[in-house]
């Protein structure tokens, strides 16, 4: 049975935030004893919390977990410049962590982002309920990406690129304008490579109501269209979007109509 690192992160969060409020570090051994595990797999738990802090632009909370002999974070700590650790500690100590809800609350009942993404894929209408269970933008974005990776078979909807490291989850109705369901539902998203995601977010590429790629040439002066520009953007105009096999996961008419009004 696989270990749920998010459930461990849920239990680690109050331990670390309390230590931060006390301006205190914690050793790997102490944290392992608190969780009831061996110190070695702590790196996986800390990676979950570190990723959340980086995504949410929060101080590097996991800087508090240190090697007993050296008094410094381990090699997996990348959230702060190792030559300026004292400044990092002050950032963490000064932050009002205890005013924040536990971002891993959803894992209290042993849920994982992968399980929640599968729930959204199996029934897109449950997306609002899943979002209300999570109520954290960083975790919601993880679930949204996992759902789109599944729905689009790990391929960019515009070019078919299947290198997972380059694939990103793009909202059609932007996060700030989306309701709870739209923030996490694949019907408000496209799986795009990083280049096409940037072009989409900047309005150079879009998707029509009949689900074809649209290139808004007016967004870029004509003299700047190089051969590479044409291959990557202009030549895609009018091509079909690579859609999920499950029609329920296609960008919805309502979402596409909103996008049309925004351009």
Residue ranges per structural domain of the chain: 5-99, 112-262
Convert 213-242 into a string of H (helix), E (strand) and C (coil): EEECHHHCCHHHCCHHHHHHCHHHCCCECC
Closest CA to 108 of 6, 243, 212: 6
For residues 73, 75, 79, 84, the Cα torsion angle rounded to the nearest 10 degrees is: 60
Which residues neighbour 229 within 8 Å (Cβ) at sequence distance 6 or greater? Answer: 220
pLDDT in tens, the chain (263 residues): 578 999 999 999 999 999 999 999 999 999 999 999 999 999 999 999 999 999 999 999 999 999 988 899 999 999 999 999 999 999 999 999 999 999 999 999 889 999 999 999 999 999 999 999 998 999 999 999 999 999 999 999 999 999 999 999 999 999 999 999 999 999 999 999 999 999 999 999 999 999 999 999 888 766 678 899 899 999 999 999 999 999 999 999 999 998 655 54
What lies within 8 Å, CB to CB, of 172 at 6+ separation is 188, 189, 190, 207, 251, 255, 256, 258, 259
């Amino acid at each position: 049975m696989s270990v749920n690192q998010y459930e461990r992160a849920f239990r680690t969060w109050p331990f670390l935030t309390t230590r931060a409020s006390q301006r205190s570090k914690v050793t790997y051994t102490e944290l392992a004893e608190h969780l009831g595990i061996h110190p070695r797999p702590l790196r996986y738990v800390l990676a979950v919390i570190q990723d959340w802090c980086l995504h949410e632009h929060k101080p590097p909370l996991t800087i508090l977990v240190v090697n007993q002999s050296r008094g410094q974070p381990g090699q997996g700590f990348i959230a702060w410049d190792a030559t300026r650790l004292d400044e990092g500690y002050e950032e963490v100590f000064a932050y009002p962590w205890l005013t924040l809800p536990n971002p891993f609350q959803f894992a209290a009942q042993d849920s994982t982002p992968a399980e929640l993404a599968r729930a959204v894929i199996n029934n897109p209408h449950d997306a609002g309920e899943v979002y209300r269970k999570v109520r954290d933008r960083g975790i919601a974005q993880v679930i949204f990406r996992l759902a789109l990776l599944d729905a689009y078979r790990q391929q960019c909807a515009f070019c078919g690129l299947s290198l997972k490291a380059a694939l990103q989850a793009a909202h059609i109705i932007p996060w700030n304008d989306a309701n709870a369901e739209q923030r996490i539902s694949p019907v408000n998203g496209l799986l795009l490579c990083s280049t096409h995601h940037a072009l989409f977010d900047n309005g150079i590429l879009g998707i029509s109501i009949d689900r074809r790629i649209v290139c808004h040439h007016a967004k870029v002066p004509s003299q700047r269209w190089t051969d590479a520009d044409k291959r990557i953007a202009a030549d895609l105009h009018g091509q079909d979007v690579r859609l999920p096999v499950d029609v329920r996961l296609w960008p919805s008419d309502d979402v596409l109509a909103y996008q049309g009004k925004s351009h």
